Amino acid sequence: MSRVRCPRCLRPQSHCLCADIPHCTHSHPVIVLQHPSEQQHAKGTAHLACLALSNAQIMVGETAEDFAELKQQVELNPDQFFLIYPSETSQAIEHRATSKNAASVVADSFPTILLLDGTWRKAKKLWHLNPWLQDLEQFHFDRAPHGQYKIRKTSIDKGLSTIEAIGYALNQLEMFDPTPLVGILRALANQQLSAMPAAIKKRY
Q: Is the pLDDT of residue 34 over 90?
A: yes
Least confident of 64-78, 100-114, 127-141: 100-114
Mean pLDDT across the stretch 3-19? 91
Q: What is the 3-state secondary structure (H, E, C) of 50-107?
A: HHHECCEEEEECCCCCCCHHHHHHHHHCHHHEEEECCCCCCEEHHHHHHHCCHHHHHH
pTM of the model: 0.88
Spatial distance between the Cα atoms of 50 and 31, rounded to a whole number of angstroms: 9
pLDDT at 204 (0 to 100): 47
pLDDT tens-digit series, residues 119-142: 999 999 999 999 999 999 999 999
Domain ranges within the chain, ordered by starting residue: 34-187
pLDDT band at 118 (very low <50, low <70, confident <90, very high): very high
Do residues 204 and 69 touch, judged by C-beta distance below 8 A?
A: no
Spatial distance between the Cα atoms of 191 and 183, rounded to a whole number of angstroms: 12
pLDDT at 103 (0 to 100): 40
Distance of alpha carbon 84 from the chain centroid: 9
